[in-house]
Amino acid sequence: MTYFKNRRHAGQLLAQKLASLQLIKDQAGISVLGLPRGGVPVAYEVADKLGMPLDIFTVRKLGAPGHEECAMGAIASGGIKVLNQDVIDSLNITEADIAGVAARESRELTRREAAYRAGKPKVKVQGRYIILVDDGLATGATMRAAIRALRQEKPSGIMVAVPVAPAATCTELLAEADDVICLHTPESFYGVGMWYDDFGQTSDDEVRELLQLASPKIIENQALPTAEL
């Protein structure tokens, strides 16, 4: 059983859910940040349907050596690193292993940041309420890194919004975020891609295209101190 046709469809359903929340109706000055690459199509639909500025927040998973699909942690803009100590201990991962993977992913993080923005200004974070969007969560390590990095920019609050994730991960993230919204929390999770008909990789070009489509809202956001809903 799947819940979503593709990431854009998931974003449309997530936008419907968010639009029904009183917090969203009452809160002024909200920005939507998508985690590249897969979170950006979802975030685009949320921002578009709710009339909010869209931007990206670049985070990279730290795959365990020899088990790259298993997250031993994540890094985010601002030098933030979050480690999953349980995974590190169970796989006997050394500090040198972690440093090597982190250095490689840091280079990729910097490359993506430059490639996606193409000189465009970042959406303001300080004093604004941020909705952090991804296409789904497994361990939540990547999202934790994003939340901790964003806290340094002093937003008024952070909401995590995703289409699908394990219930336990959503509960754990409540210790980091001000709110967590998830459309589906399957009892047997398996993986994010299991709940999409089409979970093909999002390309760099698609990320750039969606940011370009949203750029009028970014420009408006830079000109005004808050965005009224």
Single-letter amino acid, residue 96: A
CB 173, CB 143: distance < 8 Å:
yes
- The sheet with strand 157-164 has its strands ordered as 54-56, 30-34, 129-133, 157-164, 179-184
Q: Name the more confident of 165 and 213.
A: 165
pLDDT at 153: 87
- Work out the burial of residue 57: count CB atoms within 10 Å of its CB; fewer than 13 is exposed, 13-18 middle, 19 or more buried: buried
Report the chain's mean pLDDT, rounded to a whole number: 88
- Is residue 88, in this structure, part of any structural domain at all? no
Quote the pTM value.
0.84
DSSP state of 2: -
Residue 45 is part of which domain span? 7-59+119-223
- Is residue 206, in this structure, part of any structural domain at all? yes
- φ and ψ at residue 226, rounded to 5 degrees: -140, 160
Total domain count, the chain: 1
Q: What percent of the chain stands above pLDDT 70?
A: 93
Average pLDDT over residues 20-40: 89
- Is residue 151, in this structure, part of any structural domain at all? yes
Average pLDDT over residues 136-150: 89
Instruction: Write the CA distances from 205 to 28, 36, 81, 134, 153, integer angstroms.
Output: 31, 12, 27, 18, 28
Q: Name residue, tokens 């419907």.
A: 16
Place 216 in a pLDDT band, splitting at 50, 70 and 90.
low
- Is residue 150, in this structure, part of any structural domain at all? yes
- Is residue 76, in this structure, part of any structural domain at all? no
Q: What is the CA radius of gyration of the chain?
A: 17
Single-letter amino acid, residue 160: V
pLDDT tens per residue across span 38-66: 999 999 999 999 999 999 998 888 999 99
d(CA 63, CA 69): 6
Place 112 in a pLDDT band, splitting at 50, 70 and 90.
confident
Is the pLDDT reported for residue 220 higher than 80? no
pLDDT at 2: 80
Q: How long a stretch of residues is the chain?
A: 229
Helices and strands: H and E segment counts in the chain: 8, 8
- Is residue 216, in this structure, part of any structural domain at all? yes
Comparing 79-93, 112-126, 189-203, the range with the smallest average pLDDT is 112-126
d(CA 7, CA 14): 10
- Is residue 100, in this structure, part of any structural domain at all? no
Taking the chain, what is the end-to-end CA distance rounded to the nearest angstrom? 35
- Is residue 66, in this structure, part of any structural domain at all? no
pLDDT tens per residue across span 160-176: 999 999 999 999 999 99
DSSP state of 162: E
pLDDT tens per residue across span 190-200: 899 999 999 99
Is the pLDDT reported for residue 228 higher than 80? no
- What is the CB-side half-sphere exposure of residue 197 using CA atoms within 13 A? 7
CATH classification of the domain holding 135: 3.40.50.2020
